[in-house]
Homo-oligomer: A and B are copies of this chain.
Amino acid sequence: MTNAGQTLDPIQSMRRMLPDDDTVYNLAEFFKMFGDPTRAKILQCLHIRALYVGELADVLEMSISAVSHQLRVLRSAKLVKGVKEGKEVKYSLDDDHVNQILDCGLTHVKER
């Protein structure tokens, strides 16, 4: 007899308690955004105030192109948004969770 309906084997029951694969995948994608030093810095800068691409490049001492590439990544994850102002584009945070998550992480890193 093979455990008919009453109890659940522990592997099955563990699987049922996990978020579905789609959610886990999105979760990982989300955290990946914070998992690169350049992006982490960009997010912290924009947490302080909205900035133009060139300003970000100056602060981070990186090429404008590199910054722009990372902004595209962050934009596609809906974490930042860019608004055109004449020739320039001003970037700001596009998600309330960002501050919360950054604070969470900073607390952890500083405590450890």
Give chain A's interface residues, CB within 8 Å of chain B: 10-11, 14-15, 17-19, 21, 23-37, 39-41, 44-45, 48-49, 51, 55, 58-59, 78, 95, 97, 100-102, 104-112
Contacts and interface: CB of A to CB of B under 8 A. Distances in A.
Nearest to A36: B28
A102 B19 CA distance: 11
17 contacts: A11-B55, A14-B59, A15-B59, A24-B41, A24-B44, A25-B37, A26-B109, A26-B112, A27-B109, A28-B34, A28-B35, A28-B36, A30-B108, A32-B35, A32-B36, A34-B35, A97-B111
Number of copies of this protein chain within its complex: 2
A48 B17 contact: yes
A27 B19 contact: no
